């Protein structure tokens, strides 16, 4: 393995309801199942990277509550380093309310809770290896983490939020979906100087460098059950593949395959794939 991946991000407990269709504005939809799963973009990406073979450290905040134990359970079980995951008394563990349709599509609303209390003091003086960050925690903490990282830096710009141009310029890799790409402006992202990955759901993903498309990949065909953790799996897989020295095309194919495999089971973290399952899809 080449180095360690440090993830600075959120930890949530996902409250998931399956329903016949996703509600429109003002519409009440009856669900036919309810489950609680560990989640949060930071935690999902940390666990995904760990299951794909990386040594992973998570920097995050949780509450001093039972939800924290549930939210961290799979991370502990899989050996993610939680030494810098701080429990605080002033806010509860974050929760995400998720509606999932039969085709695996979803809607998500997040109550940040303790995630909003992640601070500069939670960061080490230097972050070695690779860094993955998202925007479910304070922007100023992410910006400082990027400044302190001396290795590969990946920013998953989700959920979409205002971000200074200098942070984008320092990132080696920015990852957005189509909605986030429209928010930031793809030309702005492509001009930042690093790689930009645009995810297209079931259509795969495209990778740009200096505004020029350098790779495009489609996921292997799967019968999707729940797409909740697919984007986070893609982020972890692409970062790890680039860290391992794969070509851009090979890395993108690996990330698309990993994202596809993550949709085969219910829940975000319970469905995150082991590396062997991803490699098997690539060889079919």
Q: What are the backbone dihedrals phi and psi of residue 263, each rounded to the nearest 5 degrees, phi first?
A: -90, 0
Which residue from 164, 169, 96, 139 is spatially nearest to 9, judged by alpha carbons?
139
Handedness of CA 46, 49, 50, 51 (dihedral sign): positive
Give, as one character, the DSSP assignment of residue 149: B
Q: Indicate the angle between helix axes 41-51 and 66-78, nearest 10 degrees.
A: 20
Alpha-carbon distance 64 to 24, whole Å? 35
Sequence-distant (≥ 6) Cβ neighbours of residue 140 within 8 angstroms: 120
**Kind of pairing, strands 94-100 and 106-111?**
antiparallel
Phi-psi region of 195 (alpha: psi -120 to 50; beta: other; left: phi over 0): beta
Catalytic residue set: 232
Length of the chain: 284
């Amino acid at each position: 393995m080449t180095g360690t991946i440090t993830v600075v991000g959120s930890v949530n407990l996902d409250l998931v309801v399956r329903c016949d269709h996703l509600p429109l504005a003002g519409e009440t939809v009856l669900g036919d199942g309810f489950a609680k799963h560990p989640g949060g973009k930071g935690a999902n990406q940390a666990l995904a990277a760990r299951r794909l073979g990386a040594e992973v450290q998570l920097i995050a905040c949780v509450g001093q509550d039972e939800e924290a134990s549930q939210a961290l359970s799979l991370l502990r079980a899989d050996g993610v380093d939680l030494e810098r995951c701080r429990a605080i008394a002033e806010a509860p563990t974050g929760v995400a309310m998720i509606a999932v349709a039969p085709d695996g599509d979803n809607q998500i609303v997040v109550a940040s809770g303790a995630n909003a209390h992640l601070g500069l003091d939670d960061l080490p003086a230097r972050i070695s290896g690779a860094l993955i960050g998202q925007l479910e925690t304070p922007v100023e903490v992410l910006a400082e983490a990027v400044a302190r990282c001396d290795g590969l830096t990946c920013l998953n710009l989700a959920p979409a939020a205002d971000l200074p141009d200098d942070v984008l310029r320092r990132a080696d890799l920015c990852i957005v979906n189509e909605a986030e790409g429209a928010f930031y402006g793809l030309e702005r992202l492509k001009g930042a100087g690093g790689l930009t990955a645009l995810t297209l759901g079931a259509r795969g993903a495209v990778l740009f460098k200096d505004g020029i498309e350098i790779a495009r990949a489609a996921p292997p065909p799967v019968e999707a059950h729940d797409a909740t953790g697919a984007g986070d799996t893609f982020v972890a897989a692409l970062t790890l593949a680039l860290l391992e020295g794969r070509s851009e095309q090979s890395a993108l194919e690996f990330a698309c395959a990993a994202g596809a495999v993550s949709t085969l089971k219910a829940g975000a973290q319970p469905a995150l794939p082991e590396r062997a399952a991803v490699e098997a899809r690539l060889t079919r």
